Amino acid sequence: MLRNQVQLITYPDSLGGTISDVERFITEYLQDAIGGVHILPFYPSSADRGFAPLTHLSVDPAFGTWEDIRRISTQYDLVVDLTVNHLSYESEYFQDYLANGDGSPYASMFLEVDAFLERHEAELDSLSGLYRPHPSLPFTTFKLWDGTTKRIWTTFTNHQVDLDVESPKTRLLMQQFIDTLVANGANLIRLDAVGYTVKRPHTNSFLIPETYDFIEWLRSVTPSRVDLLAEIHHDPQKQMELLASNSVEWVYDFSLPLLVLHALQVGNCTYVRNWISIRPSTQITTLDTHDGIGVIDVQGLLPQSDIDATVSRIEHNGANAMMRANGLSADNLDIYQINTTYYSALGEDDDAYITARAIQFFIPGIPQVYYVGLLAGSNDHAAFAKTNHGRDVNRHNYTHDEIKEVIQRPVVQRLLRLMRLRSNHPAFQGDFTLKSGTEEHVLALRWEHEDVYCEATIDVQQKTVHVELVHPHTKQVEVEQY
């Protein structure tokens, strides 16, 4: 069972350069503030900051070793990624296919478009309804050893070659990946891009019934002591349906970030209150991740006019550089997400930022804090200018000297104090109540466990967080402001 405490999300090289540096950062600054660590892909990779992995059987030597991973797992819940939809075109498996064609032992692992259409007795226009994050057909033409060319399915980029997850060969390799991750201490495996895995003509090929079958298979070959987290960007009904299938233990609350931004922008928490009242509790809560802020995820929860206005205000706060990062000229364009840091999305308003985090921490679920958000980072305009990759505005790499400086900022210290409360007060192990009768700009969120409680009164208009709690040792009622 996962610890009901805050988790840190970080790249293996973003807090000093290596996995050992991540451990050092946690030891120096976060020991009493978190209970888990999500280390983003630390495997050898050719692109997309680790999400074009060559394999899951080894750690990129530039980052460290399996020993470094295991050492963190002995102290904290360890969250790792399993990229179930694709592998890098540079992987030994796909390179063998390019070298040997249908004679490769790995040929069945990849989706050759013409063969796929023939297998399903379909034409190319049967794929016109595909749901995907980029406005183009997901195919890349590769040249084989004999000079012939094949169109291969690539949902995301031409570095990321989709796997045929219904192939026995793919499933054998996937099980080897899972076994390796579990053997090295994984407590929670994040199924990256799992909604895209199974393809069928005349469908949108996103979370179709056959995809559920595949997820159930993943659950069956993963030890029961290890939980599964599905990474799904879609309307919240999809998240609820996936939880109801009992094939994963956790989904993300990707609806929360934009709902909270809207509440703080307009000084009214009606829509976020409604979401809190109906949302499942077995969610990983986020405000920020290595990707963008989801827009598609609030469909049905926020009127379209409010969605548009919220996005417009975020773009205004991010200035021209952020709008370019989300424009058609940016590489790896996201059409369902906004590329920005959460701190920048809030206009770098410290009080608004702490208010947003208080909402995240006081609702049910396990909260994750992305490393840029932990350090209240602003949009990295220089990184985007260098790479033209929109998501890089929110992927700054911190040196040790930078960390020493920014960790002392008042807003970061306020956030750390709030994280310590969320991770350590025993009330959060008990029952949650969304109190009624509050004004439209106020949320009252209460936790009770045995003889203690912790209640936050959060005003999205004034951007204040007032906490009343029973001290777990003295049993005295205390009042704190964050």
In tens, the pLDDT along 100-119 reads 999 999 999 999 999 999 99
Catalytic residue among 231, 253, 288, 455: 231
- The predicted model scores a pTM of 0.95
Confidence of residue 14 (pLDDT cuts 50, 70, 90): very high
Tell me which of 109-113, 197-201, 319-323 is least confident: 319-323
Q: What is the 3-state secondary structure (H, E, C) of the chain?
A: CCCCCCEEEECCCCECCCHHHHHHHHHHHHCCCCCEEEECCCCCECCHHHCCECCCCCCCCCCCCHHHHHHHHCCCEEEEEEECCEEECCCHHHHHHHHHHHHCCCHHHECEHHHHHHHCCCCHHHHCCCCCCCCCCCEEEEECCCCCEEEEECCCCCCEEEECCCCHHHHHHHHHHHHHHHHCCCCEEEEECHHHCCCCCCCCCCCCHHHHHHHHHHHHHCCCCCEEEECCCCCHHHHHHHHHCCCCCEEEECCHHHHHHHHHHHCCCHHHHHHHHHCCCCEEECCCCCCCEECHHHCCCCCHHHHHHHHHHHHHHHHHHHHHHCCCCCECCCCCEECCCHHHHCCCCHHHHHHHHHHHHHCCCEEEEEHHHHCCCCCCHHHHHHHCEHHHHHCCCECHHHHHHHCCCHHHHHHHHHHHHHHHCHHHHCEEEECCCCCCCEEEEEEEECCEEEEEEEECCCCEEEEEEECCCCCCEEEEEC
Banded pLDDT at 330 (limits 50, 70, 90)? very low
pLDDT > 90: what percent of the chain? 86
pLDDT of residue 388: 73
Q: Is pLDDT of 437 > 90?
A: no
pLDDT per position as a tens digit, 331-363: 444 456 788 999 999 999 999 999 999 999 999
192 is catalytic: yes
Q: What is the pLDDT of residue 336?
A: 66
Q: Which of 48, 68, 162, 192 is catalytic?
A: 192
pLDDT surpasses 70 at 142? yes
pLDDT class of 329 with cuts at 50, 70, 90: very low
Predicted local distance difference test score (pLDDT) of residue 30:
97
272-296: average pLDDT: 95
Average pLDDT estimate for 395-413: 97
Whether residue 166 lies in the annotated active site: no
